[in-house]
């Protein structure tokens, strides 16, 4: 079963929890994803999410290094300060 999410902002853990219910989750209409580096990376690498390529990210980790920033930028994502 598949679903689509249409909201301005979503929490990464809430999105990840949807993988327990749905096979594919279209998040192309989500504007901002907030969460930890690990949970957002899990979304990208899971293969369950469609349309993760233009979102803005709010990272809750206390520090974000250049490797993390480069990884998200290479996926077409923007990190908000």
Nearest to 18 by CA among 39, 37, 38: 39
What residues make up the domain containing 44? 2-79
Q: How many whole angstroms separate alpha carbon 63 and alpha carbon 23?
A: 32
41-79: per-residue pLDDT in tens?
999 999 999 999 999 999 999 999 999 999 999 999 999
- The whole-model pTM stands at 0.94
The number of folded domains in the chain is 1
DSSP at 47: S
């Amino acid at each position: 079963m598949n679903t689509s999410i249409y909201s301005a902002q979503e929490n990464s853990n809430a999105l990840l929890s949807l993988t327990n219910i749905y096979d594919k989750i279209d998040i192309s209409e989500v504007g901002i994803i907030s969460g930890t580096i690990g949970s957002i990376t899990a979304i990208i690498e899971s293969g369950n999410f469609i349309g993760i390529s233009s979102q803005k990210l709010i990272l809750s980790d206390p520090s974000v290094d250049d490797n993390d920033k480069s990884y998200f930028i290479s996926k077409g994502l923007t990190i908000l300060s």
